[in-house]
Amino acid sequence: MGTKLKDMASVEMILNEMSLVEKASLVIGGSPMSSMAMEKYGIPSIWTSDCCNGLNIFQYTVEKTYRALEAAKKEKGEKFDRESFGTMGGLLVTVNEMQKKAKEEAAAGIERQKTHDVISYPTGISQASTWNPHVANICAKTVAKEFVKYGVDLILSPNINIHRDPLCGRLTESYSEDPYLVSRIAEAVVCGLQDEGVIADPKHFAANSQEKDRLKINEKIPMRALREIYLPGFKACIDAGALTVMSAYNKINDESCAMNKWLLTDVLKDEWKFKGCVISDWGASYEQVPALAAGTDLTMPGPRGIQCILDAIADGSLSEEVLNDSCRRIMYVILKSGMLERKEVSFDLEEAKKIVENAAREAMILLKNDGTLPVQSEQTKICFYGKRAKQFAANSEGSGKVPSSFISNPYDRAVEILGSENVSYQTPSEDTTLYVAVVGADGQEGADRLTMDMDVEDQEALQNAIKAAKEHNRKLVLVCNSSGPITLTEYVQDCNAILCPYFAGQAGGKVVTDAIFGLYNPSGKLTDTWPKAYCDTPSYKNYGGENKEVWYGEGIYVGYRWYDARKIEPLFPFGYGLSYTSFAFSDLQVEDTDVEKEDIMVKVSVENTGNMAGAEVVQLYVASPKSSFDKPEKELKGFQKVYLQPGEKTEVTLTVSKEDLAHYHTALEEFVTESGTYRILVGNSSRDIVLSKEIQVICHDPFGWNVITGIGKLVSNPKAVEIMNQAIGDDINLVAAVPIQYAPDYTLKELWETESSAVSTLFSKQGKTAEEKKQAWDYIVKEFKKL
């Protein structure tokens, strides 16, 4: 009788009792969608599934099918040979069986169920378009309750990869081009899921920015870009308490993410103090032993062979303590998640429908309006164009696909409001008063979009709608039902109004029509910059890559940072979104601040100056001072959505911390905040700054005197010279005379680390050991801090 898992003390007892075979089995999935259960120790399996869009019925069916196949084998006294399975474990066997069954049913004339009574939630880009973490949190709580109903323990979400390029096939699943916005939405989702007892799994760690060659692409990313753009969202999730993290397929700087020790151990576990479990993306542990050694705790899917792990421990190439640590982390997740004492959760289907409809409303972005919207339903006759008017896309293909039976469309909703006699499809009558073209572009897992153009069929529909509206001298409303930005430059002038719901889940179609008739006021904001042309984008000619290699040449200049730096006018800027009412900002209050002692407090008043209730997003950007190193023109560092009745006024308070002002310095290998003059900018988009004020920020100066200061500057400081002389046992002015005169920008660190440098030569002559050299270096670092 083994020890049962009940607390962290029992974890160590179990590890002492477990055999190597049991330990190796625990770190490999037990089935296509679940971890290994060990009844002997009271360790349950962790059932996983995609995603925050809603329940992935295909994955759910795969898991149920595999369990049935395994049970049937057990009845016969047989079992699967896990050593014969490849990187996809039992997944392929199960899918083959499902396909075989589908063919048999088709031959027998049995029609398969295509939709299910599950909720389709707004996708990531739509939830982020609300600019309201509370809405994302409520959606997460709701999806968690629904997943518990189906027995799922872990949701493979949120997807928080940065929108590097608008062509990314999975753009709709994730949030934004901006790491601050991503962080605020993602942490709200993590908290929402785990507050309801479901484990969150932020993915894909890290920089899974494209679908082309996603299994093997080698992404060459500057360290600063990683630290400032691609990693902050994950750090925010860890700080919010995420219990697991999913590693990615791609390589970062030559190392596959699931086998990347720097990423998984040095950064995630050691630097960020992550105590949870790293789960591989499905099949991403291309080699199990290197993945385990690098920090992948649970390789999915399962089952897979474990002999390679046993052999590695036997020959000493893998430490048993590494295996123990992964087992310990898996049990930690089970304990912290509350799986062992989970209470029954009530899921209200009708309430969930209301929640996702409210989220879809808040996500609706009004991109253009010449006064056409909202229209009055009385005496209105609408003609819709485009297949999406009746087949509205709620989500994308792949992991995020949710075949819900509740998906709405604009056409049917218009019929509900106006009656069928007042709604037509691509056949206008003489008394048609409004034309609505619903167009877009689909995205999917496994393939990137080839262009930013809308689908060819949709393009034709839009052109027909424009022609018809002009012929009859009527108004035209364009609806963008797309996975991300699409090229609209040549069509904007022909449209009186443009609405963008993206893929807003099951209620997306309904809320499009409701917005047209003013049943609510759109308040969404763009989370990505929409360029006038694809060639304006930061990664143009540098996206997708060649020969399975891609260079992130734009560095930190992703999204609006690029457009600001290059002075490129976008079609629609980051943070942009109109309203049926108007707002005024006033009375910006912010003072000089010592950020070593307190956060910067920013106050601003917002008033609804129009005639309709609505919401506005107060956006706070910070412009850095003249810096010791390159920085973007401005960056988002705060936001808040406020709801106001006509004539109502409120004061919004936002805070900016020292950490918010920090940038990563590659030579110092840390984030640094500089003192000096900063500009606090407040507006309702990145290109509509209406209030600004300069303040003085006081903090420790990271660039005063340190090891990356040029040697020419260092020797001008007598105290610095004294410290260096003490450390090297000689006169630094003589030892480094050549670089002082001819390369004064050469840093002390470079002098120290270069084998052929004068300092290294001196230490060799002195016969100093590596340890003595390190002690001298540590002394300099310590004393320089006092300067």
In whole angstroms, give the CA distance from residue 27 to residue 298: 5
The residue written with tokens 């699409």 in the block is 486
Closest CA to 299 of 96, 25, 11: 25
Indicate which residues carry an active-site annotation. 281
Q: Rounded to whole angstroms, what are the CA distances from 240 to 129, 158, 186, 189, 194? A: 21, 13, 9, 10, 10
For 635, phi then psi, to 5°, come to -145, 145
b/e 358-385 (16+ beta carbons within 10 angstroms → b): bbbbbbbbbbbbeebbbbebeebbbbbb
Rg (C-alpha) for the chain, rounded Å, is 29
Q: Return the axis-axis angle of helices 133-149 and 349-363, rounded to nearest 10°.
A: 150
Q: How far is CA 28 from the centre of its chain?
A: 26
- Mapped onto helix, strand or coil, the DSSP state of residue 746 is coil
Q: Return the axis-axis angle of helices 320-337 and 307-314, rounded to nearest 10°.
A: 130
Closest CA to 707 of 727, 729, 734: 727
For residue 679, the cross-strand partners are 623, 694
Cβ atoms within 10 A of the Cβ of 499, count? 28
The H or E element containing residue 549 is strand 549-551
For residue 157, the cross-strand partners are none
The H or E element containing residue 200 is strand 199-200
The residue written with tokens 């002559």 in the block is 765
Is there a contact between 313 and 20 (Cβ–Cβ < 8 Å)?
Answer: yes
Q: Rounded to whole angstroms, what are the CA distances from 275 to 237, 269, 295? A: 13, 7, 12
Residue 91: both structure tokens together: 């997944």
Is there a contact between 235 and 268 (Cβ–Cβ < 8 Å)?
Answer: no
Closest CA to 158 of 228, 230, 217, 244: 244
Q: For residue 268, what are the contacts with CB-CB under 8 A and spacing of at least 6?
A: 205, 234, 238, 245, 274, 278, 295
The residue written with tokens 């106050």 in the block is 603
Is there a contact between 291 and 299 (Cβ–Cβ < 8 Å)?
Answer: yes
